[in-house]
């Protein structure tokens, strides 16, 4: 089977319509000032010129999802004994996500190391992950907040993608990288794409060449540990942060969640919803003690997790994919790149331990 195809731009919607016959299809759409991932509607314009404001994270890890319906009952022979019957609510159906960028889709591989770990795989995440295919759009013009190349990626990185779509004059070159991806490329709307592959490679080369030289982050895990107890460093870094949480909610590789139960009488539903480690409530304990009492502690954790603790556990892989959303969408433009570089270049003053 050919794994390189060409699709005319004018056929893009028709192709997605075909895929939508058997799958839920998600695609980028403008909503107000933002571009979000929404169910594909042939009558609505897609917004695919620039990277979406919101990554496609919720297509595999919904912002809020039902996990279990449960019912309490009391043992009539022993009223002190309460029994709980639960029924898992597993996601159903298959999905195709069109138009995520390489950084977005690579973000799911950061989830995978945690949510698909051998002994603790998360059945809800796994079910969606197994049933979702990604048709990724290669980036033609990285923005000045993009730094995928700092963290081992590129504007045409195929990690996690089933198909990479590269825009060229009049259409797209589609390359499949998985069996699932090949299955997506069987439409009669697609023609053999071999003769356009050099054009696609040129797009990749130009995009990669437009990025400035990347610093070496190999020392970041240790350097961030070196400044772990230096609260002056972190207070300075977090000074302008408003603790709004936009950075975590918009991050394709942030995966923290909270669990809540909603009950009515003897019945209830357990939900999982995204959480936000930049919030003061995140580590608040029932006693009132908060081990991360200030925004400086919370920012230290967020950056430390991505550039030090996660890479230490997971084969030196940084759990930031360099999408730049936390810079672009931060109301005070706090720049994670600057803080990591400051930590790497930090020299203790004379007498400082």
Q: Which residues bind ligand SF4 (CB under 6 A)?
A: 241-247, 250-253, 278, 306, 320-326, 330-332, 334, 336
State how far the Cα of 171 lies from the Cα of 295, in Å rounded to an integer. Answer: 47
Cα within 13 Å of Cα(79), Cβ side: 0
Closest distance of CB 240 from ligand SF4, Å: 7
Closest distance of CB 302 from ligand SF4, Å: 8
Q: Which is nearer to ligand SF4, 25 or 105 (CB)?
A: 105
Q: Which is nearer to ligand SF4, 198 or 242 (CB)?
A: 242
Q: Which is nearer to ligand SF4, 127 or 279 (CB)?
A: 279
* Residue (of 125, 132, 98) closest to 110 by Cα position: 125
Closest distance of CB 108 from ligand SF4, Å: 12
Closest distance of CB 259 from ligand SF4, Å: 22
Closest distance of CB 152 from ligand SF4, Å: 12
Q: Which is nearer to ligand SF4, 180 or 337 (CB)?
A: 337
Q: Which is nearer to ligand SF4, 166 or 253 (CB)?
A: 253
Closest distance of CB 186 from ligand SF4, Å: 33
Q: Which is nearer to ligand SF4, 126 or 328 (CB)?
A: 328
């Amino acid at each position: 089977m050919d794994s390189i195809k060409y699709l005319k731009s004018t056929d893009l919607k028709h192709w997605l319509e075909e895929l939508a016959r058997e799958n839920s299809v998600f695609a980028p759409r403008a909503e107000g000032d933002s571009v979000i991932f929404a169910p594909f509607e042939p009558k609505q314009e897609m917004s695919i010129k620039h990277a979406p404001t919101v990554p496609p994270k919720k297509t595999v890890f919904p912002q809020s999802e039902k996990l279990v319906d449960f019912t309490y009952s009391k043992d009539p022979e022993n009223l002190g004994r309460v029994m709980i019957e639960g029924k898992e609510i597993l996601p159903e159906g298959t999905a195709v996500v069109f138009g995520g960028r390489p950084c977005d889709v690579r973000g799911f591989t950061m989830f995978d190391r945690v949510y698909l770990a051998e002994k603790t795989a998360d059945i809800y995440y796994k079910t969606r992950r197994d049933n979702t295919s990604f048709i990724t759009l290669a980036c033609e013009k990285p923005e000045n907040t993009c730094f995928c190349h700092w963290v081992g990626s590129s504007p045409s990185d195929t990690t996690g993608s089933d198909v990479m779509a590269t825009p060229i004059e009049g259409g797209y070159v589609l390359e499949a990288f998985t069996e699932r991806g090949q299955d997506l490329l069987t439409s009669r709307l697609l023609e053999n794409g071999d003769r356009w592959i050099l054009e696609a490679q040129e797009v990749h080369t130009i995009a990669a060449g437009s990025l400035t030289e990347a610093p070496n982050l190999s020392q970041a895990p240790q350097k961030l540990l070196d400044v772990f107890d230096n609260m002056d460093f972190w207070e300075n870094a977090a000074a302008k942060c408003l603790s709004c949480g936009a950075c975590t909610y918009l991050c394709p590789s942030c995966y923290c969640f909270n669990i809540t139960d909603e009950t009515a009488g003897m019945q209830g539903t357990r939900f999982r919803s995204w959480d936000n480690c930049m919030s003061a409530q995140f580590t608040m304990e029932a006693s009132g003690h908060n081990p991360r009492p200030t925004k400086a502690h919370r920012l230290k954790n967020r950056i430390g997790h991505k550039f030090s603790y996660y890479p230490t556990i997971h084969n030196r892989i940084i759990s930031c994919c360099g999408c730049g959303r936390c810079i672009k969408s931060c109301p005070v433009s706090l720049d994670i790149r600057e803080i990591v570089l400051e930590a790497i270049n930090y020299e203790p003053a004379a007498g400082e331990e």
